[in-house]
Structure 1
């Protein structure tokens, strides 16, 4: 079970690490997109969300307060779903569909991160292959 939990953590965080790299290396382009979506202080929000993803993903991946890392990812995902993928505001059917897919992806990933939180906050280091026990 320990190896399966580790593989699950690895597969789950790949998306966040790749996205964080984009936030931190292509900040101006991503901030422009965020600004177009109405995000205030778009450049700061882009950098902050990149850092949030890196810290949350590495925490979960390495098992260093994995429960906290999972919460950090939820803190990133839910506001992102509502701020960046507000499909209900779109009038073009194609844009609406694409935003709905992204919204649902973010909400589903938040659900997965909450499950990781529950596992690591509840069972903690009994899942093994973590560097620390849970914070909560």
Structure 2
């Protein structure tokens, strides 16, 4: 069971670590997109969200307060879904569809991260983690 949970953590964290890398290597392009969405201080917002994705992803991957890392991901994903992918505002059908996919992806990942938070904060024997949970549910 421990190995299955570890594999799941690796697969889950891979997305966020890749996203964080993109935030750091494509900052200007992402800031331009964020600016188009009306995000204040878009460059700093891109870098800050990259830091949160990196910290949350590493936390889940390594099992260092993975409950807190999961919660960080929830806190980053929900605003991202609503602020960056408001499909309901789009007038072009193709753009609306693409934004809806991104919105749904972010909401689904937030749900999965919330379940991970509860799992890490509730289960006594997490196995294959560096630390135990920070929270106790």
Question: Normalised by the size of structure 2, how large is the TM-score?
Answer: 0.97
Superposed structure 1 runs of 4+ greater than 6 Å apart:
none
Quote the residue 1:114 is aligned against. 114
Q: Extract unaligned runs of 5+ from structure 2.
A: none
Map 1:1-136; keep pairs closer than 5 Å: 1-124=1-124, 126-136=125-135
1:25, distance to aligned residue in structure 2 (A): 1.3
* Contact 2:67–2:116 under 8 Å retained in 1: yes
Partner Cα separation in structure 2 for residue 66 and residue 134 of structure 1: 7
Partner Cα separation in structure 2 for residue 10 and residue 112 of structure 1: 14
1:85, distance to aligned residue in structure 2 (A): 0.3
Q: How many residues align?
A: 135
Considering only aligned residues, what root-mean-square deviation do their CA atoms show, in Å? 0.7
Partner SS, residue 30 of structure 1: helix
* Contact 2:64–2:129 under 8 Å retained in 1: yes
Partner Cα separation in structure 2 for residue 11 and residue 115 of structure 1: 15
Deviations 1:10-49 (A, max 9, x none): 0001111111001011111110111011111100000000
1:118, distance to aligned residue in structure 2 (A): 0.5
Partner Cα separation in structure 2 for residue 89 and residue 38 of structure 1: 13
* Contact 2:27–2:46 under 8 Å retained in 1: yes
Q: Extract unaligned runs of 5+ from structure 1.
A: none
